């Protein structure tokens, strides 16, 4: 059967399906719309402008307002149509996966001419794996800042990995230090992951007695930590703690462990699809790059009983530790660990699974295999993954078209009702889908949800909104 299949044509078909999946992922932004926090942001942006609103937010609500990513967020929401805003966020999400491929190449010393194909593949499985929150982390005007933060973190890690291999000039080191502060001041659960990565490398270099690099890594750690302090010690954070009641927290050791396990379990549950896809794809990548690969589990499953093995243990498992470290900012308040905050955990988990599985294999020169059989099998498997993604995306796009019409008609009604009382219907839940989820107005209001209606009234300058089922 496999002898009659043209491998070259099959490769072309698989690449075409991967490219199509990327187009579908990007096209989802066409049906996006403003909702929830978008209106609150735009009200403040209309009042204060982009920069002043960043400063205001830093002092009154959240330190992350006064960051590079937040400036882009405010600029886009203030000046650009929502469909273009979410398209930009989608681009940053896709580019994060491009740098994921570059990091893997650097980490595993992979030389391949299939870099673009692997980019399509890893973007597709990461997108599918994030299906429980990408309506908030990618296809949402406000929440898309998470994807921009991820891209900044991915670029930083790639540059950092190059730093381990190539000697940077003094000027490049200065630029990288400045960039490190910017990335450190993005969001806490990403920053702590970068700090964990640097700390692990400091330990490894200390054990290897490579003292000449420890100084610079220590400086990077201080700079990234300084960025995190800049957003964490903002006056607005303390105001937010008072207003949300987070101040009543238990800092006992048992409570912190409980918080870690609670958030960790929630993140792992969200990541099940990604974990399964990552393992499958990792094996497929091995078979493409090393057709004569042989499974050698002993190389990664061991007890670090001496210094050499401990160095190897840290090197092999560092991305797992980096992934787990993203949980730490939420252990004192697990209720703040929304599904969208799992984005960074999942990115580093994907990076760990790919590197871990890849290292389980080694080239066996004596093994004689049918590379044609393996290549065809892997192409069929990858094609199947791309087809699932395309079908899932097209389904969501069709669902989104209907929801977009409903939201557009609501916006048109609000625009015509300036100074008037207007009645709005709630979104029919059947219109929603994974890509186009929405936190709508509420028929039964309380203090926690009333702000959605109030901001909508303020943005469209209507007298009052009455919500009906």
Predicted confidence (pLDDT) per residue in 306-326, tens digit: 888 899 899 999 999 999 999
d(CA 194, CA 159): 12
* pLDDT at 29 exceeding the cut of 90: yes
- Banded pLDDT at 165 (limits 50, 70, 90): low
Best CA proximity match to 32, nearest among 142, 116, 130: 142
Angle among Cα 71, 75, 77 to the nearest 5 degrees reads 115
Long-range pairs for 363-372: beta carbons < 8 A, 24 or more residues apart: 363/290, 363/292, 363/293, 363/294, 364/292, 364/293, 364/294, 365/292, 367/292, 367/294, 369/291, 369/292, 370/2, 371/291, 371/292, 372/2, 372/7
Closest CA to 399 of 439, 436, 429, 438: 436
pLDDT tens figures, 240-280: 777 765 656 777 889 899 999 999 999 999 999 999 999 99
| Residues 6 or more apart in contact with residue 36 via CB below 8 angstroms | 142, 438, 439, 452
Q: Residue 368: pLDDT above 60?
A: no
How high is the pLDDT of residue 1?
Answer: 47
Cα-Cα-Cα-Cα dihedral sign, residues 441, 73, 323, 110: positive
Q: How confident is the model at residue 295 (pLDDT cuts 50, 70, 90)?
A: confident
Q: Could you tell me the sign of the dihedral formed by the alpha carbons of 293, 294, 295, 301, in that order?
A: negative
What's the pLDDT score for residue 113? 84
Cβ proximity of 69 and 231 under 8 Å: no
pLDDT digits (tens, 9 = 90+) for 341-355: 999 999 999 999 999
SS3 track for 141-170: CCCCHHHHHHHHHHHHHHHHHHHHHCCCCH
Contacts 24+ apart (CB under 8 A), 2-6: 2/370, 2/372, 2/373, 2/376, 5/376
Dihedral pair phi/psi, residue 370, rounded to 5°: -85, 95
* Residue in 143, 157, 235 with CA at minimum distance from that of residue 190: 157
Query: Please, where are the H alpha helices in 371-449?
Result: 371-415
What per-residue confidence (pLDDT) applies to 153?
98
CA 151 to chain centre: 8
Q: What pLDDT is recorded for position 371?
A: 64
Residue 247's pLDDT is: 56
Encoding tokens for residue 285?
Answer: 């990548």
If you average pLDDT over every residue of the chain, what do you get?
91
Q: Are 225 and 193 in contact (CB under 8 A)?
A: no
d(Cα 105, Cα 209) in Å, to the nearest integer? 26
Report residue 293's pLDDT band, with 50, 70 and 90 as the boundaries. Answer: confident
pLDDT at 239: 81
Torsion of CA 165, 171, 174, 178, to 10 degrees: -100
pLDDT at 366 over 70: no
Per the confidence metrics, is the pTM higher than 0.85?
yes
Does the pLDDT value for residue 94 go beyond 50? yes
Give the mean model confidence (pLDDT) for residues 207-215: 84
Q: What is the band of 305 on the pLDDT scale with cuts at 50, 70, 90? A: confident
Q: Which residue has the higher pLDDT, 362 or 226?
A: 226
Reported as a single tens digit per residue, the pLDDT across 45-92 is 999 999 999 999 999 999 999 999 999 999 999 999 999 999 999 999
Cα separation values, 235 from 58, 241, 245, Å: 7, 10, 16
From 228, 197, 202, 203, select the one nearest 215 (Cα to Cα).
202
Q: Other C-beta atoms within 10 Å of 241: how many?
A: 14
- Comparing 468 with 179, the larger pLDDT belongs to 179
Of 123-132, 239-248, 355-364, the range with the highest mean pLDDT is 123-132
Phi-psi region of 281 (alpha: psi -120 to 50; beta: other; left: phi over 0): alpha
**Residue among 322, 394, 398 at smallest CA distance from 356:** 322
């Amino acid at each position: 059967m496999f002898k009659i299949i043209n491998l070259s044509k099959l490769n072309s078909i698989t690449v075409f399906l991967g490219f199509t999946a990327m187009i579908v992922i990007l096209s989802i932004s066409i049906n996006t719309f403003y909702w929830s926090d978008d209106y609150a942001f735009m009200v403040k942006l209309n009042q204060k402008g982009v920069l002043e609103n960043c400063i205001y937010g830093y002092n009154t609500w959240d330190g992350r307002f006064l960051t590079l990513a937040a400036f882009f967020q405010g600029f886009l929401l203030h000046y650009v149509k929502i469909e273009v805003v979410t398209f930009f966020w989608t681009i940053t999400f896709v580019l994060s996966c491009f740098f994921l491929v570059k990091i893997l190449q650097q980490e595993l010393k992979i030389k391949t001419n299939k870099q673009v194909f692997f980019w399509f593949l890893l973007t597709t499985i990461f997108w599918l794996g994030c299906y429980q929150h990408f309506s908030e982390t990618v296809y949402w005007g406000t929440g898309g800042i998470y994807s921009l933060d991820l891209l900044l973190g991915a670029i930083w890690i790639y540059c950092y990995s190059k730093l381990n291999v190539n000697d940077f000039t003094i000027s490049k080191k200065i630029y990288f230090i400045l960039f490190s502060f910017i990335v450190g001041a993005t969001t806490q659960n990403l920053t702590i992951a970068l700090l964990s990565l640097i700390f692990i490398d400091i330990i490894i270099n200390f054990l290897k007695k490579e003292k000449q690099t420890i100084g610079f890594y220590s400086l990077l750690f201080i700079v990234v930590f300084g960025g995190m302090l800049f957003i964490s010690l903002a006056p607005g954070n303390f105001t937010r703690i008072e207003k949300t009641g987070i101040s009543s927290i238990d800092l006992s050791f048992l409570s912190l462990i409980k918080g870690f396990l609670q958030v960790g379990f929630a993140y792992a549950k969200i990541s099940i699809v990604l974990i399964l896809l990552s393992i499958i794809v990792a094996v497929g990548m091995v078979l493409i790059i090393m057709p004569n690969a042989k499974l050698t589990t002993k190389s990664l499953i061991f007890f670090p009983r001496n210094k050499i093995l401990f160095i190897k243990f840290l090197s092999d498992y560092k991305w797992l530790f980096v992934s787990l470290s993203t949980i730490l900012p939420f252990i004192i308040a697990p209720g703040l660990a929304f599904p969208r905050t799992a984005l960074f955990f999942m990115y580093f988990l994907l990076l760990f699974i790919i590197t871990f599985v890849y290292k389980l294999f080694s080239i066996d020169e004596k093994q004689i295999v049918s590379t044609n059989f393996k290549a065809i099998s892997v192409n069929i498997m990858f094609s199947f993954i791309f087809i699932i993604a395309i079908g899932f995306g097209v389904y969501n796009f069709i669902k989104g078209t209907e929801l977009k019409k409903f939201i557009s008609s609501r916006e048109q009604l609000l625009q015509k009702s300036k100074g008037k009382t207007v009645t709005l219907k709630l979104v029919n839940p059947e219109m929603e889908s994974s890509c186009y989820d929405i936190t709508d107005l509420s028929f039964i209001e309380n203090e926690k949800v009333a702000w959605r209606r109030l901001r909508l009234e303020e943005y469209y300058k209507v007298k009052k909104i009455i919500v009906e089922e």
